[in-house]
Amino acid sequence: MAKGKLYLIPCLLGGEDTSILPDYNKNLLVEISVFAVENLRSARRFLRSVGYSKNFDTEVLFFEFDKHQSSQQFQQVIAALNNGKNVGIISEAGNPCIADPGFELVAKAHRQKIEVVPLVGPSSILLALIASGFNGQNFCFHGYLPIENTDRNKKLKQIENESLKSGSTQIFMETPYRNQKLFEQILQQFQAETKLCVAADITLPTQYISTQSIAAWKKENVNLHKRYVMFVVGK
């Protein structure tokens, strides 16, 4: 029997506009009835929003990636794939496998020679990068910064130095409720002439993307509290 395929299914970064997702993905979802998901409720809501009509209770199997049970869940998903079932991975927002346990499942799939199919969709990292106006030929994504103040300031300095030294664009993020504080720390830590792109609420109606020097940012009055933000540093 042919093995199933493991589809990496992007969802929205927020908001409700599913027209930013390709029809290809929507049409393909009809064929899938096993899902590995980061959060059951948001995965169901996402599937309904793009017109998925299977009965969740009788026709669909969901595996929720709980941090404590992931190993067992992974085994069940791999078994389904080996039994010829297509499986879709859905994370909380945007592309799966960037900041969720999905990547470990993909790694297992490769070891079992199961075909992995990434689908096109919104990536806040990539969209922030291209909209920043910085060099896209060389860039680094650092994920979430350290929470503790001393470590965070050290990391910020390291990111700025890397950008100045190599010309490589540096991207990082924080959880929404800490964004305003992080922004203020960046303004304190970075040199006046360093350039920063703030990309908030990407793909949403409230989208705000601006690239300015730290000196110019200090004169702006921007509120980033509880907004989704990518910070991009570059030349």
* 56 vs 135 by CB, closer to a copy of itself: 135
The neighbour count for residue 100, using CB atoms within 10 Å, is 20
- # residues near a copy of itself by CB under 8 A: 60
Based on the shown chain and the rule CB under 8 A, indicate whether residue 27 belongs to the binding site for a copy of itself. yes
The neighbour count for residue 140, using CB atoms within 10 Å, is 14
Based on the shown chain and the rule CB under 8 A, indicate whether residue 143 belongs to the binding site for a copy of itself. yes
Angle between helices 149-166 and 179-189 (to 10 degrees): 60
Angle at 217 between CA 216 and CA 222, to 5 degrees: 140
**Which of 46, 65, 134, 217 touches a copy of itself (CB under 8 A)?**
134
**Which of 42, 49, 185, 211 touches a copy of itself (CB under 8 A)?**
211
Angle at 118 between CA 112 and CA 122, to 5 degrees: 150
How far apart are alpha carbons 86 and 1 in whole angstroms?
Answer: 13
Residues 81-120 that bind a copy of itself (CB under 8 A): 95-99, 102-104, 106-110, 115-120
Based on the shown chain and the rule CB under 8 A, indicate whether residue 168 belongs to the binding site for a copy of itself. yes
Smallest distance from the beta carbon of 123 to a copy of itself, in angstroms?
A: 5
Residues 37-76 that bind a copy of itself (CB under 8 A): none
Instruction: Please classify residue 137 by burial: count the beta carbons closer than 10 Å to its beta carbon, then call 0-12 exposed, 13-18 middle and 19+ buried.
Output: exposed
How far apart are alpha carbons 77 and 65 in whole angstroms?
Answer: 11
* 57 vs 144 by CB, closer to a copy of itself: 144
**Which of 20, 30, 192, 215 touches a copy of itself (CB under 8 A)?**
20
Based on the shown chain and the rule CB under 8 A, indicate whether residue 158 belongs to the binding site for a copy of itself. no
On whether the CB atoms of residues 199 and 212 are closer than 8 A, the answer is no
Using CB under 8 A as the criterion, which residues of the chain lie in contact with a copy of itself when the complex forms?
Answer: 8, 17, 19-24, 27, 95-99, 102-104, 106-110, 115-123, 125-144, 168, 197, 202-203, 207, 209-212
